[in-house]
Amino acid sequence: MVAWSLAPDRCLSNPTIYEVYPRSFRDTTGTGEGDLQGVIDGLDHIASLGVDAIWLAPVYPSPWADGGYDVSDHRGIDPRYGDLSDFDRLVAEAARRGLKIIMDMVLNHTSDQHPWFQAALAGDDAAAERYVWRDARPDGTPPNNWMSFFGGPAWRWEPRRSQYYLHQYLYRQPALDMRCPAVQEDHRDTLRFWRDRGVAGFRFDTVTAYFHDPELRDNPCASEEVRACVEGPPNSPYHMQDHTHDLLPGDCAAFMEKVRDWAGPDMWLMGECTSGNKAFELVRAFTGPDRLDALYTTAIPEGVGSPEVFAKAADEIAEPGALPWWFGCHDQPRVASGLGDGSAESARFHMALLAALPGPAFFYQGEELGLPQPDLDRDEIIDPFDLRFWPDHPGRDAARVPIPWTQGPASGFTSGTPWRPMRWDDSHSIAHQEQQDDSMLAQTRALLGARRKFGWAQARDRVLSAQDDLLEIRAQTDAGPLHAVFNFAEGSRPIPDAPEDPLFTQALEGGALGRWGFVIASPDG
């Protein structure tokens, strides 16, 4: 295994990141949808958490067929959010508070309303070369058997060209041909456009899907072992294939050297791994001094109930900075409900675990409040992925319900009607938790404050070990040793070789740690 160290000229090192989904963060205009001014107004709250950077989910112009990830202009701001001057103010105001902006970058596909795609439909062959168009088979069926992640064929017939086009996700997100020089040149210019506006890094959406087999060979059937690793709902036809030809992560990994060159040596770069097979192997392939800094994988949140997942990750990834820790985002159910039992204890447990793990980490807006996953009725759901798999939907819509700021109508999110139904209890609001010394918000600030003060994110010589339902973390920081134990079990578990540390003594009951129990020992307590 080859180990590498983060390049010294990066502007961030193992950052703690707060994901903002702007549409659901804060509305300042009464439209019921969040905006960039709302993010600016919320910067003091974000800074108070002790994070280093904000991952800003897409704010580009979009018809919103897939939550903003169907982009029609990669260098603009959707008018519902504001304009480029608002974005520039956000970058400046964040910097005043010691926060950096990480821009969400969707390079794999565009909206079907993008000028390139519209030009292709109008007969512009040069524009069509930017996408993946293929003729039908002699019997009129699609070029091959590839399936879309959203379920159903990955090809859609377009009468205006009498051809099929490839869409790995929603049919309204036509896939770009990443081998096309014109596409690469435009992506290069896009990264430099945002870099020059002051962003500190990029989060690359679905980075393991950039390339596919140019011969368009059929995918083979998936074995049971492979099906267990494929991302997405298990009742999707996407799970029935071994995605050996529609996803070529090896080619994608090599391409990251070009992406690094476009972004520059100082940008902190993180990618999303959407290939469940050999996830940790892909982390090693995609990251390095001349590639991405980090690649996150769903293997972490999907296996978070097992301490073995963490121990395996630490064992297989020599460089702690290459694998970000995370439990939730805009695409996943809320942590307290999705990974825990919906209790306040489970929410606190997962935040503490995130804080203690060495390496980069990110969490989603509202996790600092311990928000549970809201219940939405069928007629309240608008997300196409959730609708496709109802009633066994993944829960993306509910995770995007706006966060509560105050008690009262719309929980202070908007003066209008929120774009998603809000039925939060007043105790979930930021205003309420600000007044409670033992609130989830207070604990988040304390935990992330300790993470920063004692250098847990930068810890070295880390050892993560799993024994039964206990996860033990040992590492060295500049401030001294870090030792933490977390209990994933239903009941109490004894801690083997518990140290003679007052913190451990106070946390244990008869030498054991209770359900959702944890203890973190570091210098000065």
- What single string gives the DSSP state of each residue in 319-383? SGGGS-B-S--TTS--HHHHTS-SSHHHHHHHHHHHHHSSS-EEEETTGGGTPPPPP--GGG---
Average pLDDT over residues 75-98: 98
Tell me which residue has tokens 């945002």.
194
Mean pLDDT of 477-503: 75
Q: Give the catalytic positions in this structure.
A: 205, 272
For residues 414 and 31, the answer to whether their CB atoms sit within 8 Å is: yes
Beta strands in 149-216 (DSSP E): 155-158, 163-166, 201-204
- Cα–Cα distance measured from residue 460 to residue 457, given in angstroms and rounded to the nearest whole number: 9
Model pLDDT, residue 9: 73
Most confident of 35-44, 243-252, 506-515: 35-44
Return the minimum-mean-pLDDT range out of 46-50, 325-329, 344-348: 344-348
Q: What is the pLDDT of residue 519?
A: 84
Whether 455 shows a pLDDT value over 80: the answer reads: yes
14-70 pLDDT per residue, tens: 999 999 999 999 999 999 999 999 999 999 999 999 999 999 999 999 999 999 999
Whether residue 325 has pLDDT greater than 60: yes
Give CA separation, 147 vs 152, 206, 237, 354, in Å. Answer: 6, 16, 7, 35
- Give mean pLDDT, residues 179-207: 98
Cis peptide before 391 (omega within 30 of 0): yes
**Strand partners of residue 104:** 203
User: Does the pLDDT at position 361 exceed 50?
Assistant: yes
Q: Mean pLDDT, the chain, as a whole number?
A: 92
Q: How far is CA 120 from CA 125, 165, 166, 172, 349, in A?
A: 6, 11, 14, 14, 51
**CA quadruple 180, 182, 184, 190: dihedral positive or negative?**
negative
Local confidence band at 468 (pLDDT 50, 70, 90 cut-offs): confident
Residue 147 has pLDDT above 50, yes or no: yes
For residues 58 and 104, the answer to whether their CB atoms sit within 8 Å is yes
The answer to whether the predicted template modeling score (pTM) of the entire model surpasses 0.85 is: yes
> Burial, 129: exposed, middle or buried (Cβ in 10 Å; 0-12, 13-18, 19+)?
middle
pLDDT reading at 379 higher than 90: yes
State residue 523's pLDDT score. 62
